[in-house]
């Protein structure tokens, strides 16, 4: 592996050992996380539920990890020291999808560094993006992503916010045929782009759409999610806490009396499970640099999903 900013492999391995120690929190919280309805618990940790990627039927765990902000840190930063434990929490709970982008500063490089020393070999489903204009520039940026993530294959390459998508999409298809990338997709994060997102989904065969969706941001339900089901496109939910405002609004409110029926014990879990209850949603990717929050978020992938009545009660609760 490449040494970066003075951090050797030995130092990174020390961080990984510290991550294992930090994950005593995982065991402490394990009793609050319910077993999946489709996979009984084993002698080790329980495994979260999965959804099929429509274009391949490959099973993808319901809860992943976003790296925006949280992984844009360098070795030596106190936050960096927590990140091995975040990844370990994700993997121990059965999650695999890690989403990044060249837009996220150092996030790709940090992810590559930490995955390179994970033992046993990381089960990560690596997703990143191309975020530039021009064919030559797009190729150079994607090649850089391979180097920073320290991988020979990227599971999902996405065109970030549809930037110059007509130029990049043919190259993504070519690399997919070569096996360098397994799936291709597009992303956006605002409802003002939905007309263009809809047009691209109708015109092109894609494996994934990454889009904003939250309990307090449901515009995607009207046209985009039904279209994804019709077109066989997997959906990854970004901004699943509405950019942070949602949890602030829910703070101090009592959880509904029925949360034990769906094996939830926190508002973040319930907000994520609200999204996962939609039949078009494949995976949610809340971002965090805190191992405790990763354990809590992963809990949304366990136990029964919400009923329509329960989802409507949550919508009414926000007024």
C-alpha 142/C-alpha 317 separation (Å) is 43
pTM of the model: 0.88
Contact between 212 and 188 under an 8 Å Cβ cutoff? The reply is yes
C-alpha 261/C-alpha 306 separation (Å) is 9
Is it the case that residue 48 has pLDDT exceeding 70?
A: yes
Averaged confidence pLDDT in the chain:
89
Q: What total number of domains does the chain contain?
A: 1
In CATH, what number is assigned to the domain containing residue 170?
3.20.20.100
Cα dihedral value 110, 113, 116, 118, nearest 10: -70
Task: Say if 90 falls within a structural domain.
Answer: yes
Task: Say if 189 falls within a structural domain.
Answer: yes
Give the per-residue pLDDT at 243. Answer: 76
Give the per-residue pLDDT at 4. Answer: 45
Residues paired with residue 129 on neighbouring β-strands, in sequence order: 158
What is the share, in percent, of the chain residues with pLDDT greater than 90? 81
Lowest mean pLDDT among 11-20, 109-118, 156-165, 222-231: 11-20
Task: Say if 272 falls within a structural domain.
Answer: no
Give the pairing of strands 50-52 and 59-61.
Answer: antiparallel
Instruction: For residue 250, give the 3-state DSSP assignment.
Output: helix
Task: Say if 46 falls within a structural domain.
Answer: no
Task: Say if 225 falls within a structural domain.
Answer: yes
Cα atoms in the Cβ-side hemisphere of radius 13 Å centred on 252: 3
Task: Say if 21 falls within a structural domain.
Answer: no
Q: Where are the alpha helices (DSSP H) in 103-157?
A: 107-116, 135-149
Instruction: For residue 95, give the 3-state DSSP assignment.
Output: coil
Mean pLDDT, range 65-84, rounded to an integer:
97
Give the per-residue pLDDT at 11. Answer: 54
Task: Say if 173 falls within a structural domain.
Answer: yes
What would the two tokens of residue 240 be? Answer: 């699943």
Task: Say if 288 falls within a structural domain.
Answer: yes
Q: What is the tens place of the pLDDT at every residue in 131-146?
A: 999 999 999 999 999 9
What is the pLDDT confidence band of residue 301, given thresholds at 50, 70 and 90?
very high
What phi and psi values does residue 122 have, to the nearest 5 degrees? -60, 140
Give the per-residue pLDDT at 34. Answer: 33
Q: Domain range for residue 100?
A: 57-244+280-304
């Amino acid at each position: 592996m490449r040494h970066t900013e003075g951090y050797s492999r030995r130092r990174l391995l020390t961080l990984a050992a510290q991550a294992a120690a930090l994950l005593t929190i995982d065991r402490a919280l394990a009793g609050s996380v319910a077993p999946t309805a489709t996979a009984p618990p084993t002698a080790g940790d329980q495994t979260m539920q999965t959804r099929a990627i429509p274009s391949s039927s490959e099973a993808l765990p319901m809860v992943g990890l976003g790296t925006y902000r949280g992984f844009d840190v360098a070795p030596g930063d106190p936050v960096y020291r927590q990140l091995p434990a975040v990844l370990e929490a994700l993997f121990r709970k059965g999650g695999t999808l890690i989403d990044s982008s060249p837009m996220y500063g150092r996030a790709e490089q940090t992810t590559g560094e930490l995955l390179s020393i994970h033992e046993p070999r990381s089960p990560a489903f690596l997703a990143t993006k191309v975020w530039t204009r021009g064919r030559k520039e797009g190729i150079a940026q994607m090649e850089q992503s391979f180097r920073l993530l320290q991988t020979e294959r990227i599971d999902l390459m996405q065109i970030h916010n549809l930037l110059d998508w007509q130029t990049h999409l043919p190259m993504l298809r070519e690399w997919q045929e070569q096996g360098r990338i397994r799936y291709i997709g597009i992303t956006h994060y605002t409802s003002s782009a939905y007309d263009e997102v809809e047009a691209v989904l109708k015109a092109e065969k894609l494996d994934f759409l990454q889009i904003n969706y939250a309990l307090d941001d449901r515009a995607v339900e009207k046209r985009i999610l039904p279209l994804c089901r019709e077109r066989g496109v997997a959906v990854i939910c970004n901004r699943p806490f509405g950019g942070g405002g949602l949890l602030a609004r829910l703070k101090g409110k009592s959880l509904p009396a029925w949360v034990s029926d769906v094996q939830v014990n926190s508002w973040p879990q319930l907000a994520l499970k609200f999204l996962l209850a939609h039949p078009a949603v494949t995976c949610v990717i809340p971002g965090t640099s805190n191992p405790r929050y990763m354990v809590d978020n992963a809990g949304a992938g366990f136990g029964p999903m919400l009923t329509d009545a329960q989802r409507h009660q949550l919508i009414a609760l926000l007024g």
